[in-house]
Amino acid sequence: MLSSWAGERAATVRQIRSGRICAMCRRSLPQPFSAGEELCDSCRAERGLHRVYMSFVLRANRWHCHFLERDLQTVLPLKLQFKSHEKLRELAERGGCTLNLEARQSLDHGIEIGRGGIWLELSEEQYQKLNAGPSRNAGNA
């Protein structure tokens, strides 16, 4: 989601990076602000993206993942399990997580302590799969 910063005022760049204004249209975003580049609802809808929070925890040598809507209260039905933390990284990359330094450190810390969460930007197709159904074992590696 990184925008071209050439020619942008430093104050605008700081507001974008702090999640105060939309990275595309520069409209103000509602509070609470989350660090990192954000899109407003209309820009997200225009691009066909859904913001979803993936929470993960290590239990019995398996990574258990569940997903929450943007409101952090509505649970999506699909739950995944992985044997390897590398599958978590792969899922984050495929899920549109911008693995900048902050997100990478957050993911690494979560893996290190055995629990954590990251924001994903999912396409309509990916989002529909999460809404589709039951838990499943997604990875054996």
What CA–CA distance (Å, rounded) separates 124 from 43? 14
Q: Is pTM beyond 0.75 here? A: no
Residue whose token pair is 């507001």 = 15
Backbone angles phi, psi at 51, to 5 degrees: -90, 125
Burial 61-93 (b: 16+ CB within 10 A, else e): eebbbbbebeeeeeebebbbbbeebebbbebbe
CA-closest candidate to residue 30, choices 13, 46, 38 = 38
Q: What is the pLDDT along the chain (141 residues), one digit of tens a residue?
A: 444 555 567 888 888 777 788 877 888 887 766 666 777 777 777 677 788 899 999 999 999 999 998 888 899 999 999 999 999 989 988 888 766 777 888 899 999 999 999 888 888 888 888 888 665 565 544
For the chain, count helices (H), then strands (E): 5, 5
